[in-house]
Structure formats: C-alpha cells, structure tokens
Amino acid sequence: MPQSNLSPELTTTGLTSLLDGQGRKPTRLLQILIEIQAAQHWISPENIDQLAAELNLPRARIEGVIGFYSFLHAEPAGQFRLLFSDNITDRMLGNQNLLEYLCNKLWLERGHVSEDGLVSVDTTSCTGLCDQGPAMLANGMAIPRLTRERLDEIAELVLQKVPVTQWPAELFVIENNIQRREILLANSMQPGDALRAAIAQVCVPGSAVEAAANQRSWREGIPSVALCAPVSTLEEIKRSNLRGRGGAGFTTGLKWEACRNAPGGEDNRTRYVVCNADEGEPGTFKDRVLLTTQADLLFEGMTLCAFAINAKQGFLYLRGEYRYLLEPLNAVLQRRRDANLLGANILGQAGFDFDIEIHLGAGAYVCGEESALIESLEGKRGIPRNRPPYPVTHGYLDKPTTVNNVETFCAAALVGLHGGDWYRGIGTAKSAGTKILSVSGDCARPGIYEYPFGVTVRQVLIDCGAENTLAVQVSGPSGVCIGADEFDRRIAFEDLATAGAFMVFDESRDMFEVARNFAHFFAHESCGFCTPCRVGTAMLKATMDKIAIGHGTQYDLAEIDQLNRILLQSAHCGLGHTACNPTLDTLKRFRPTYERRLKSLDFEPAFDLDGALATARRMTGRDDAGAHLSMEAES
Amino acid sequence: MSETFQLDGEDIPFAPGQTVLQAALSAGHYIPHLCYHPEFKPHGSCKVCTVKIGGGNNTRTAASCTLPAQAGLEIESDTEEMNALRRTLVQMLFAEGNHFCPSCEKSGNCELQALGSDLGVMTAGFRHFYPDRPVDASHPDILLDFNRCILCELCVRASCEVDEKCVFSLSGRGITKHLVVNATSGKLADTDIALTDKAMQVCPVGVILKKRVGFAVPIGQRRYDQRPISAQALDDAPRPPSASGPNGSGVCQACEE
C-alpha cells in the first residue's frame, strides 16, 4: 500500500534521533512509544526491534507495554483514529447515533480500519468532557459538543486527508464552564506567593516547631535553623487537616511527613513529588479545568511539597486524553523556570532545587491508582504494586515518593500562603476546605462547582438546575449511586466521599443501562493482573448483557452478588473492589428496572441454542418455524 | 525465629522478611496457592492464597503470599469461607481458559487440576469464555498451548530471573491479557529457549510442554494421583535448617520420572 504523506514511516535514523531526544532511558519507554504512535499512527515490528536493540530491553516487554495502553497500536489503526467518548453522559447526549452516523458517512464498520487504511472509528472510556459532550478524540486531540454538522465537517477533513494539526481550531475549543467559585477557584495568588511565604518562616524560640526542627536536625544532619521553614510548612499542612482529593482521603500532612522521614538516598534528597493528573474516573473533569486555569497554583503546590519533603524531582502524570494541555502546561513550567520558581536555588534559597517533568498516559484508567501510576512513570505496564511497601517509602525507582491529586496540590499551595488554621476553618470538622465537583448529566447548567465541604446533594441539584432527578452517581462508577430519599446527604469524607464526579439522572433514565455502561467500563479497564478482577469484571459485563437482551433470571442476580463478594475479598486493588458497586447500588435502589427484564425461570443457560443455529439457517437459506428451536417447541 | 503469628489458632514461627504463606509452609502448614513458587519472589496475582486477618468485627482479607509476617497477626485460612473463595477463584480460571483435562498431557501433574480436586471443584460454575487461543507448535522440541494458560507469570519470571533470556512476557489488558514470546515473528521457534531452561519447568498447568514425551507416565501414577497437592506443596517448601534444594520443586521432574 502506498504511504501517504500523512503517516510518514519513521526511518531508522528518525527513531534514533527520537530516542536521543528522550535520553534513551527505559523509564521513558512509554513516552517514546507515544511519540512514535503520534508520528506514524502505529508502532511497527521494525520499530519494536530497533527499540529493543537500542534500549536493551526484551522486545516482548515492549510489546507488552504497547498492548497494555489503549492509545498505542502494534497494528495499523488508520491514519485518522476517531474515538467517541463512551461515558454514560455521552450516551445520554446521543453519542451512539452519532457514531453510527459517522461510520455510515465514512463507509466504515465500527472498530475496523477502512480498506485504504485511512480511518477507523471506535469508542473510548470517558474523555472528561461530560459537561460538553458528546466528545471524541481525533488522533488523541479532544473535540467536544459533537453534532451531525460537526461530524460532516470532520468526515470531509478526513476524506480530504487534512492532518488533524491543520483542522480548524474552532473544533477543539473546550469550555471551562466554571459555575461556582470558592477559595480555590477564586484565589488571587501570584506565582511564587506561597513559596515566598514558606521560605520566610522562622522558628519561634520555645515553639513546638522549633523542637521538631531540632529533633529532625539530629536525624537528618542538617542545621536546625535551615529546617525551620520546611518543618513549619509540614506542620501547617498537618494543621490544615487537608485530605487527599483523589477519593481515598488520606491526610496529606501525614503522607508528606512519612515521605520526608523515609531515607532519600545518598544525598538524602532523592525523593519524588508526583502529581496524579490521570483523571480517568468517568464523570470527573475538575482536574482538566484546574490544569487549564490554575496550573501555576498546582505547580506551586508541588514545589511547596518538594520544599517540605526535601525532594529534587517532580512529575506531572497527565492522562493521554488531556494531551492538548501538554504545550500550555510546559509553557507555564518554562515561565516558572525563568522566574526562578523552578530550577536551582529557587527564589535564591541555596540548595532549594526542584524541577517538574510532564509524563503522558496513553489510555489506562487503572494508572490513576498511585502505584500503577508509578509503574507507568517508569515506562512499564500500569499494574498496581503489592503493598506494603507504600510509595511514601518505596515509590518511583523504589525511592520515597509523594503522590497527590491535582486538587490536593492546589489546596496545599493555598495552605502555604494562608496557613493551616485558616484552611481548617472552612468545611466540616472532619473535612477541611472545599471540594470541586464536576457536574454533568440531566441538569441545566453542567460544569464546575466549588463548595465548602458539607454541602447537601440537594443544594448542588438546585444550583445546577436539575429537575425531576431520579438518581445521582457520586464519585463516578467506583463511587455510590443514590436515590431521591438520600439527597440530604452531604459531600464530605464522613458521608459521601468523592473524587469529584457528580452525574445527574432524571426520571426518564434507565438506571440498569447506567450500571451496564459502568460494568463495561470496568471490564475494559481491568489491568488483568489478578484472577478475580480479570475474570470477574468480564463475567459481570456478560451477565449485565445477558439481562439486557432479556435472558436474565434470578440466578443471574445471585451470581452478581457472588461476584461482588469475590471481588471485595480478593481483588488486588480498588478497581476490582468497586467494580460491582454501580450494579449493586442500582439493584438495591432501582430493583424493578432489573426485574422487568428477567425471565420468570429460575435459570436460563447463557448459551443460546437457537442463536447457534443462525449460521446453519443462513447457509441453507431457511428461516421457517422448523429452523428455529423455540418455534419448533411451541408448534 | 522466636516471633510468631497465629494461623487457624496455631502458633507459626517466622524469620524476618518471610511472608505469611512462606512461614506457614516452612512450618508445615498448607495454605492453598497457585502462582506462588518457593524459588521465586511472591507475586500475588492468582489470589488463591487469600486469608482473613484479625479477629472479631475488624477483619480484612489479603493474599498471604505477599502479606509480610508480623508478630501477633491472627490469620484464618482453613475456613469454609476462605475455601469457598478459593473454590470460586479456581472455577474462574477454569471458565477463563480452555481446559480439557481428559486429553491434556499435564493431567495428574497439573496444579490447577490438583487444586480444584482438593477444593472440591466439580464444575466450572460459570459460563465458559471459550477464548480463541491458537497453539504455537513452531519449535522443534517444545509446544506452547496457550489454551491452558492461567497467567501466573511463573515462566515470565523464570525466563528473566533465572535463564536471563526473557523469552516470555505479558501483553494485553484485562480479559485479553495473554502471553507473548520474545521474537519478531511471535513464534517460539525464533527465540533462544532451551529444554534445559528453568522456564521449561515451572508451568503449573499444561502450556509449556516438551514434545514427544506424551503420556510417558500413565494417568493414575502421576504426581497428584499419588499425593494431594496439599501434601506435595509441603514437601516442596523450603524448611529450616536444611533449606531449599531444587529437590521436588519442578513439576516437570515428575512428568519425566
């Protein structure tokens, strides 16, 4: 097949220089593969052979990394790869009809590359544009608000073979939709404010901080006067009661302190600060808006963390779906380097050296799990590690590593400037500060809402203009689904803990289909490491599909219960533990939507005998009653 | 060695760095397991060795092969609840692959089969996936039958850590996860695997088979025909002080006897 100029084959020397650009480090393998994929639209066997030789890695391991990430392809996947976001909110906005429309337009079957190798159309997990869906990724670049008109335009560009980089900018405009601001989104901090405040801290003679600095001085071999500021920072973060915003809610100050306490190599500075911007939980998009509007605050928080824990290197792990944010974020980093807010001797403070590198993900939800994220940062398959040991002592390259969510670092920067007491005064007793919610689904004003912790679900529903609400999925598929009788519950760690997703479903929605969409999501995103999750999520998906086509029975509902027990007891990580949540929650609260689909029988085999005869019917050209088992039985 | 934890009410001594499963096996107590092998670092993927920790209302479960032994731990293993969990996990593995014991060369020497038998697995319990997994018969001396793979990664680990060849690796994700071999062609014939490799000896099921030795030992006289896997596993466990010879560690020894 002639190669068009759209996908120039990477020459051997081209790949060599790409490798040089990445420093030939095996830890950068995933970044290298992402670059090859972007340049050539697939990764050829020759590329893999060359990588294996030049990086001194087994080629099968490189294949394994490619096979793990959804956005990497070891087979040609078309010069244009168009992936429709397939979250339930995209479905509610009609993405399935649009996908079919585009396939017809391009004379394509979904999931298959066109005969001429030009284009393929498929679905992908939630791309974080739920407030402006339906959305798609065109060769990795996000396009929101799809309509038939926009798809006509896209199809034309594809058929004209216009590279995605030259498509009209208007297609890629993404709104922030900030609907409600509190301390974080309304902050007026200038770059460096929190760092200057942190560095300026001194020990009050006789204070607890001075005692802590003295104690640490003995342990770390650093003069206690030099420790006053970092120790004060640690103490303020602890005092703030800030808890992680990624969902688990671990106390940030304790995490930072444990990381500082862990031995950091020969120079005692080999620690890592990692920001988890792998916002993959369906229905969550607040980190996208923070990365767009608060990048300085985020990097300030990461730098503050480095100051507090004594670290030299930071990473931002950016999910592949947010690839379009890479250049703007790198520009912010450069601006901060130019202003001496990153680099050597930050703000003139001798020995305060820190810099941040951005790593891209490539379509793997499980990499949001912190130890899987670290594996991915090291250029490997994103498999969650066995714990203990925990990342705070054995993280990136086995060195102490603090991993926090985007929102956590932003909040930490605010604490750095305004102090812990100020922060803990906001929110509830157990949940200090504010929470940013990503509101989508059936409401008049989807978007970003920041509230002090303790806000009721009902209040959020009023503010976003939701009417006739049937259910809310809080914190995404791995969170909890609540019905109308629970709308007075509060967003807080002590009640409804959330990573930020808030999907609204009105009375026209079928909660069974919501749960089925989530079951498909978990099966697609299971890393496959442990038996219960690898097999169990696939079984749950199959059972939900069986119920959907009208073959489900009471036996299948019992099997769901059994799968849930197995996953809770034995899955390797949170993905498996929570995979049955949406099904169980909806079964508990909306059981009739399941039951009206069930057969009255106790048991019905999954194997469809009549369906198995379809090929024989087609071959013999028969479709009469005698060619169908069920009709035969009835007649 | 003086510190102990409790396993099903009995005191189990442990050495620093041992996991619960390792200490239990050393002390002569069997916890069912599949992806664990005494000569390799515990991996924790099959989850068959899951145990319950703690008493009263405050309990949790964890894979015992990767759970660090700690003084004072209270572990429940041989309970109906944990054995039911293990039974289901083994059933899941049977449902995931294509396992036809009567025609399998590994029957009687197969750890999955033996464990199923020990745990009272009578059927797969779930619908079968019937995956399409072509065999690789390219190599003159070795057959790869992926239909039976349970993804324990023992061959991956043995080939990298002991043979230093990395002939095997894993690709894919979730239910599509699968074994791949280290060759551009994807065929075993184009790798540097040798019959003497450790990777040839560690497969707990019938994926990696030596050609032309089929059924050399009759069914009925094979490893797990003679003694249940619970007894065999204790024989294989490294014991203090004589510790760990290679004796009895490889399943393949049995098939060549």
Question: Domain for residue A464, yes or no?
Answer: yes
**Domain, as residue range, for A64:** 12-68
Rounded to whole angstroms, how far apart are CA atoms B13 and B28? Answer: 11
Residues from chain B contacting residue A535 (CB–CB below 8 Å): 92-93, 95-96, 175
Q: Which residue has the tokens 């407030």?
A: A131
The CATH number of the domain holding residue A295 is: 3.40.50.11540
In a domain, A211, yes or no: no
Q: How far is the C-alpha of B91 from the C-alpha of B112, rounded, in Å?
A: 10
Residue B183 touches chain A, beta carbons under 8 Å: yes
pLDDT, mean of each 10-residue run, chain A (635 residues): 54 90 93 95 96 96 97 96 97 97 96 95 98 97 98 98 97 98 97 97 89 89 90 96 94 97 92 97 98 98 98 98 98 98 96 97 97 98 95 97 98 97 96 98 98 98 98 96 97 96 97 97 97 97 94 91 95 95 94 88 71 88 84 48
Residue A223 lies in a domain: no
Q: Tell me: do A280 and A355 sit in the same domain.
A: yes
Q: Is residue A409 classed as helix, strand or coil in its secondary structure?
A: helix
Query: Is A187 a member of any domain?
Result: no
Residue A90: its pLDDT value, please? 97
Query: Which residues 6+ apart lie within 8 Å of A7 measured at CB?
Result: A40, A41, A79
**A59:B175 CB<8 A:** no
The answer to whether B92 contacts chain A (CB < 8 Å) is yes
Residue where the block lists tokens 């490294």: B238
Judgement on whether residues A261 and A402 belong to the same structural domain of the protein = yes
pLDDT in tens, B192-226: 999 999 999 999 999 999 999 888 899 899 999 99
Which residues in chain A have Cβ-Cβ distances shorter than 8 Å to B126?
A: 539, 559
What structural domains does chain B harbor?
Answer: 4-78 (3.10.20.740), 104-216 (3.30.70.20)
Return the pLDDT at A222: 87
CA distances from A162 to A156, A159, A394 (A): 9, 8, 47
Percent share of chain B, pLDDT over 90: 84
Residues A263 and A410 in one domain: yes
CB A420 within 8 A of CB A304: no
CATH number at residue A496: 3.10.20.600
Q: Is residue A332 part of a domain?
A: yes
CB-based contact (8 Å) between B123 and chain A? no
Same domain, A22 and A155: no
- Cβ-defined contact of B175 to A523 (cutoff 8 Å): yes
Is residue A290 domain-resident?
yes
Dihedral in degrees, nearest 10, Cα atoms A25, A28, A30, A33: -60
DSSP code per residue over chain B: ---EEEETTEEEE--TT-BHHHHHHHTT-----SS--TTS-----S-TTEEEESSTT--EEEETTTSB--TT-EEE-SSHHHHHHHHHHHHHHHHHS---GGG-TTTTT-HHHHHHHHHT--S--S---------B--SSSEEE-GGG-----HHHHIIIIISS---EEEES-GGG-EEEESSTT--GGGS---TTSGGGT--SSSSEEETT-TTSSPTTSSHHHHS-HHHHHHHHS--TTT---STTT-HHHHHH-
Q: Does B173 touch chain A (CB under 8 A)?
A: yes
Contacting residues for A596 by C-beta, under 8 A, at least 6 apart: none
Q: Is A525 at the interface with chain B, CB within 8 A?
A: yes
Query: What's the complex ipTM?
Result: 0.92
With a CB-CB cutoff of 8 Å, which residues 422-451 of chain A face chain B? Answer: none
Same domain, A47 and A93: no
Segment B132-167, tens digit of pLDDT = 999 999 999 999 999 999 999 999 999 999 999 999
Structure tokens at B122: 């009578």
A488 with A520, same domain? no
Beta strands A313-318 and A469-474: pairing type? unpaired
The mean pLDDT value of chain B amounts to 91
Q: Which residue of A has its CA nearest to B168?
A: A60
Q: Within a domain: residue A193?
A: no
Asked if A333 and A291 sit in the same domain, the reply is: yes
In chain A, how many domains are there? 5
Report the residue of chain B nearest A576, measured CA to CA: B174
Pair A481, A472: CB distance under 8 Å:
yes
A525 contacts B169? CB cut-off 8 A: no
The residue among A47, A61, A537 with the most chain B CBs within 10 A of its CB, best to mutate, is A61
Chain B touched by A393 (CB under 8 Å): no
Cβ(A353)–Cβ(A409) below 8 Å: no
Higher pLDDT, B243 or B189: B189
* Smallest CA–CA distance from B62 into chain A, residue: A570
Residue A218 counted as domain residue: no
Which residues in A lie closer than 8 A to residue B184 (C-beta atoms)? 45, 48-49, 59
Amino acid at A532: P
Chain A CB contacts of B182 under 8 Å are 58-60
Report whether pLDDT(B247) > 50. no
Give φ, ψ of B254 to 5 degrees.
Answer: -65, -40
Listing DSSP states for A271-283 in one string gives -EEEEEE---STT
Contact map slice: A 551-580 vs B, CB within 8 A: 559, 562, 565-566, 569-572
Model pTM score: 0.93
pLDDT of residue B250: 35
Let me know whether A97 and A49 are in one domain: no
Examine the fold and report which residue of A414, A449, A478 is the final residue of a domain before the chain moves on.
Answer: A414
Residue A482 and residue A521 in one domain:
no
| d(CA B109, nearest CA chain A) in Å | 22
Q: A534 and B85 in contact by Cβ < 8 A? A: no
Token couple for A461:
């529903």
Distance from CA of A95 to the nearest CA of B (A): 25
- The answer to whether residues A355 and A289 belong to one domain is yes
Dihedral sign for Cα A553, A554, A557, A562, please. Answer: negative
Asked if B173 lies within 8 A of A537 by C-beta distance, the reply is no
Mean predicted lDDT score pLDDT of chain A: 94
Tell whether A369 and A454 lie within a shared domain. no
pLDDT band (50, 70, 90) for residue B252: very low
Q: Binning pLDDT at 50, 70 and 90, where does residue B257 land?
A: very low
Residues A336 and A258 in one domain: yes
- Cα–Cα distances (Å) from B136 to A66, A82, A193, B179, in that order, read 22, 34, 63, 11
pLDDT at A7: 55
Write down the pLDDT at residue B245. 40
CA–CA distance, B105 with B102 (Å, rounded to integer)? 8
Contact between chains at B176 and A528 (C-beta distance less than 8 A): yes
Domain CATH code at residue A143: 3.40.30.10
